[in-house]
Chain A
Amino acid sequence: DAGVTQSPTHLIKTRGQQVTLRCSPKSGHDTVSWYQQALGQGPQFIFQYYEEEERQRGNFPDRFSGHQFPNYSSELNVNALLLGDSALYLCASSLKQGRTEAFFGQGTRLTVV
């Protein structure tokens, strides 16, 4: 079981550009959530996908969007990048039903210059 995999691991982008981050959930998991972790802070919830739809959204602007595919994998897109978007982006997978722990990927370190 490969667990949650994210790609790429590191990325450098210029202000104003767009970026796409990818996530494959743990085998058997049907729900994917995305978190942003700024330096020195805990992860902050961006949104959650289930059955290919965004089910819940945190306090992030519309520049942040996502997608979930039929195989449960997911993408996070960020448009019009700002310097403040520099952070570690974490993908977590879980089961919709029941209270099971979320499994996290290793994250994508995004640097906006």
Chain B
Amino acid sequence: DQQVKQNSPSLSVQEGRISILNCDYTNSMFDYFLWYKKYPAEGPTFLISISSIKDKNEDGRFTVFLNKSAKHLSLHIVPSQPGDSAVYFCAALAELEYGNKLVFGAGTILRVKS
């Protein structure tokens, strides 16, 4: 049961344009979401997060939008740079009885062409 889905395996964008990465979730109990970026041979690095009490969170070139009714979030990167080429993971924080865990999507490979 895939509770977090990233339906686009890959995305190619021209340098300077906007990159939009999408993510859907099925569990309405999720109320905190994170985006991670991963380069080859490195671990995921945190990018930005959003709580369900907000519908938008911005940090520099990165903005995350949350649509709770649609159970959908998106990551916008403006402007896109070649260094942004990486795998992007959407994750939901699942609160458990004695702790928590991150539930990840399968990832989207972003290629920014110069």
Instruction: List residues of A whose CB falls within 8 A of some B CB.
Output: 4, 6, 31, 33, 35, 40-45, 48, 50, 55-56, 58, 90, 92, 96, 99, 101-107
Closest chain A CB from B40 CB (angstroms)? 11
Contacts between the two chains (Cβ within 8 Å), count: 63
Closest chain A CB from B5 CB (angstroms)? 10
How long is the Cα–Cα vector from A50 to B103 in the complex, in angstroms? 19
Number of interface residues of B (CB under 8 A): 28
Verify A48–B100 contact, CB threshold 8 A: yes
Give B25-66 as 1s and 0s: 1 = Cβ < 8 Å from A's Cβ atoms: 000000010101000011111100101000000000000000
Instruction: List residues of B whose CB falls within 8 A of some A CB.
Output: 4, 6, 32, 34, 36, 41-46, 49, 51, 89, 91, 93, 96-107
Verify A103–B46 contact, CB threshold 8 A: yes
Return the contact of B106 from the options A42, A50, A56, A90 (Cβ within 8 A).
Answer: A42
- A90 and B44 in contact, given A41-B106, A42-B89, A101-B49 (Cβ under 8 angstroms): yes
Verify B101–A42 contact, CB threshold 8 A: no
Verify B43–A105 contact, CB threshold 8 A: yes
Q: Which of B42, B45, B101 has the most CB of A within 10 A?
A: B101
Q: In the assembled complex, which residues on chain B have CB atoms less than 8 Å from the CB atom of A56? A: 96-101
